[in-house]
């Protein structure tokens, strides 16, 4: 067994042990996370949720020796000041499953995101699968991150071929781990959009970064006009790869400006006259409001979470 294999085995065993103990954690926004952790009583962890959910420093005698041993083998036990420790990963709950992802704060360029956007994305996907899941034979999650979307497809469509693609090796590793933790079958593959994922798909999903990030961290920076660049690239890459009757389900964020939706205007222009059925809706009218305080969004009205669904007509 290689060092990486040993680390992965330890992470799986650790997550399964925590699940058996009833572990559950819902990841909030970074601002909420920071505010809750800043309270005097939360400066250090007092239980497993504090350690693996809230990413708080903890004393060496807080956790059982077996848990500390698993963290050491997994390579996620990091020293902190004053003889304290901290976990390098978080473990979050979604739809009855547990997902490993990056610890708070997610400052690293290769951080693996998981948060409220993931929950909204999962809700949109689960709603679509409840209506159309039986038609899915081949699916791909573009920019899989933690693998949440791909895992949900694989769980609800166990006979389907499911690909999870990302440019971040850390994300692909956690996607594989989280799939094994959920007991589902999928393939995680390095790919820039669909470059390394040939063929057509019945379902293409994506939850891309959609903000302008000065540090251009891959999990957060959308590029282009007000962060919409990557979302537009995904639409253009996905549409020619839809099988007859296939659907693109894109969850993203849009910076509204002058009481207008510039992303909807752009999408309308790109989809008109292509013989595609599509619908577009705001899932949440106001997310990441703190971004309006400075930087690229000081002239914007709000940032909305939206869902775009585009379907290629079936062959008759």
**Range from 2-6, 10-14, 55-59, 169-173 carrying the lowest mean pLDDT:** 2-6
Query: DSSP letters of 271-299?
Result: HTTS--EEEEEEEES---GGGGGSGGGTT
Residues 73 and 195 in one domain: no
Domain tally, the chain:
2
Residues 97 and 236 in one domain: no
In this structure, are 138 and 197 located in the same domain? yes
Do 281 and 166 fall within a single domain? yes
3-state secondary structure of 21: coil
Judge whether 111 lies within some domain: no
Structural contact between residues 269 and 232, judged by C-beta atoms closer than 8 angstroms: no
Position 315 confidence tier, pLDDT thresholds 50, 70, 90: confident
Using 50, 70 and 90 to split pLDDT, how confident is the model at 285?
very high
Euclidean distance between CA atoms 302 and 256, whole angstroms: 5
Residue 160 is given by DSSP the state S
118, 148 in Cβ contact below 8 A?
Answer: yes
Averaged over 259-283, what is the pLDDT?
95
Please check whether residue 210 lies inside any domain of the structure: yes
Examine the domain organization and report whether 128 and 95 are in the same domain: no
User: Does residue 46 lie in a domain region?
Assistant: yes
Q: Quick check: is 110 in a domain?
A: no
Residues 177, 307, single domain; the answer is yes
> Do 91 and 130 sit in the same domain of this protein?
no
The reported pLDDT for the residue numbered 2 is 77
Which domain range does residue 273 map to? 116-311
Q: Are 27 and 34 in contact (CB under 8 A)?
A: no
pLDDT in tens, 22-60: 999 999 999 999 999 999 999 999 999 999 999 999 999
Residues 192 and 273 in one domain: yes
pTM: 0.95
Non-local CB neighbours of 102 within 8 Å, separated by 6+ positions: 89, 90, 108, 111, 112, 113, 114, 170
295 in a structural domain: yes
Residues in contact with 88: Cβ distance below 8 Å, sequence separation at least 6, in sequence order = 75, 76, 77, 78, 103
Span 171-226, pLDDT tens digits: 999 999 999 999 999 999 999 999 999 999 999 999 999 887 776 666 676 788 78
Cα torsion through 267, 314, 155, 241, rounded to 10: -50
Question: Which one of 71, 102, 133 terminates a domain?
Answer: 102
């Amino acid at each position: 067994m290689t060092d990486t294999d040993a680390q992965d085995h330890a992470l799986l065993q650790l997550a399964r042990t925590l699940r058996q103990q009833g572990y559950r954690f819902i990841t909030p926004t970074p601002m909420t996370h920071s505010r809750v952790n800043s309270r005097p009583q939360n400066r250090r962890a007092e239980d497993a949720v504090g350690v693996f959910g809230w990413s708080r420093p903890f004393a060496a005698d807080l956790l059982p020796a077996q848990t500390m041993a698993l963290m050491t083998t997994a390579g996620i036990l990091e020293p902190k000041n004053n003889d304290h420790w901290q976990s390098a990963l978080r473990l979050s709950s979604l739809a009855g499953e547990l997902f490993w992802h990056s610890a708070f704060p997610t400052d690293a360029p290769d951080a693996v995101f998981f948060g409220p956007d993931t929950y909204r994305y999962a809700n949109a996907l689960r709603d679509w699968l409840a209506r159309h899941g039986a038609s899915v034979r081949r699916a791909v999650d573009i920019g899989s991150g933690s693998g949440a979307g791909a895992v949900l497809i694989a769980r609800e469509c166990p006979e389907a071929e499911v690909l999870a693609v990302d440019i971040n090796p850390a994300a692909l590793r956690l996607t594989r781990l989280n799939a094994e933790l959920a007991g589902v079958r999928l393939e995680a593959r390095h790919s820039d959009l669909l470059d390394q994922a040939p063929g057509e798909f019945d379902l293409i999903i994506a939850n891309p970064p959609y903000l302008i990030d000065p540090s251009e961290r891959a999990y957060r920076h959308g590029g282009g006009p007000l962060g919409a660049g990557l979302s537009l690239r995904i639409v253009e890459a996905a549409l020619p790869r839809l099988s007859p009757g296939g659907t693109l389900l894109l969850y993203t964020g849009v910076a509204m400006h002058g009481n207008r939706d510039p992303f909807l205007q752009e999408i309308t222009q790109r989809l008109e006259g292509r013989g595609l059925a599509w619908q577009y809706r705001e899932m949440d009218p106001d997310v990441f409001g703190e971004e309006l305080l400075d930087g690229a969004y000081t002239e914007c009205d709000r940032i909305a979470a939206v869902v775009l669904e585009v379907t290629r007509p079936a062959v008759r």
